[in-house]
Each structure stands twice: as C-alpha cells, then as structure tokens.
Amino acid sequence: MAHKDDPVSDWTKLLWPGFYAAEAGLALARVMIGTLTPPDATSPRPEPAWASPNEVVLELSAARLRRFDCPPKGGGGHAPILVCAPFALHDARIADLCEGHSLMARLRAGGGPLYLVEWLSARETQAFRTIDDYLADLNVMVDEIGGFCDFVGLCQGGWLGLAFAARFPSKARRLVIAAAPIDTHAAETPFSALARSTPIETFEELAQMGGGFARGAQAQQF
C-alpha cells in the first residue's frame, strides 16, 4: 500500500474520475451496439402509414413512385410535381407526417399531378449503387409521369435533384430544394455571390421578423 505522503497516491486519486468515465463510456457503447443489432432479415417490414391518400404507380428495386390524389382545379395545364424524399436516416413520410404537418397535403391543395419518390431500404445486393444508379431511377420515374416535372428535393433529395437537373436539364422544368447539403462555394454563381456578400445579421433579422421562423414570403422578397 502506498504511503499517504507518496505522490503516486495523489496521481491515483486524480486518475479515478477518468477510469470511471471510461467504464461508463464502455457501458453506454455496449447498450448502443445492442440497440443497433439488425432485425431479423426474414421479418417483413411494416408498411408506413401515410397522412394523405396515395397509391404506388411504379416500383423499382430501390424506390417506389407514389401518386397522391389531388382535387381538380380549373384551367388545367399543371406540370407534374415530383417530390424527392430523403433516403437516409428517415423515410419518405417526413414529407407527409400528419394532418397539419404535411408538405404533400399543401401541394395537393394546388391541384395538378403530384408524385413522391419513396427510396427503399438498401439490401446487401445494392451495396455498390452509385449516384448514376439513383439518377437512372429518377429518369425512369420522370418518364413515367410524362417526361418532365417540377422537382422538389428534400435534404439528400435536394442535391440529387441538382445532379438530375444538371444531367437532364430538359426534364426538370423548375427546381426547389429544401435543407439540402449544398456547398455554395463549389463554384461562382449569382447565388453563391449573394450568400457570400450577405451578412449573417440579415438572416437573423429575417428570423426575428418572423417570430423565430424564416418565413417564405419574407425570404422571397429578400
């Protein structure tokens, strides 16, 4: 046993919190790994519940194309709207969560053909899919709805939409992206120049004017 005046015992006292923290971290890691254990591959995955009526009109190996019912609007001539949902971490229902919190419901109110790309969970045989594979799937789905569309990309679906519009410019009539991981400094464009020259205080003021929200009408005026 070390003497009470031995400096080694003082160092030991200092190290004990670190030992306890490391042990706690290992215990937490074991719990997390346990929760990440993949489910039985033979168990069928339950179908997601949607807030808005829709039907699958095309199914590919990696995605489904869903058509949402829209009330008829006078005038006609609406271009099809294709919403490209995220394909990691959360499923396509993020675009149609529930009544009062549904992008699809808001778009339905405008009338016209409305579709959503529901990316399916990847299987082992799809481990080496590339961006070109995703673009090929999108190309097939756009052809299915008429050969062109107004494209709405959410999160990862946003950068995929930009890639699709660059590859097939005649098929993406208009493009709207939301919360997409885009590097605005990758190339010099009017948008990147605006973002770089606008002080952060401007965006903070927009949020303050909206009571904590960046409201679309105000952002559009800006």
DSSP for 131-186 reads HHHHHHHHHHHHHHTTS-EEEEEETHHHHHHHHHHHH-TTTEEEEEEES----TTS
Cα–Cα dist 167/161, whole Å: 10
| Per-residue confidence in pLDDT tens, the chain, 222 aa | 445 555 545 545 555 555 555 555 555 555 544 544 444 544 555 666 899 999 999 999 999 999 998 766 655 668 999 999 998 767 899 999 999 999 999 999 888 899 999 999 888 888 888 999 999 999 999 999 999 999 999 999 999 999 999 999 999 999 999 888 888 778 888 878 887 888 888 888 888 887 776 676 777 776
Cα–Cα dist 38/124, whole Å: 13
pLDDT of amino acid 35: 46
pLDDT of amino acid 215: 72
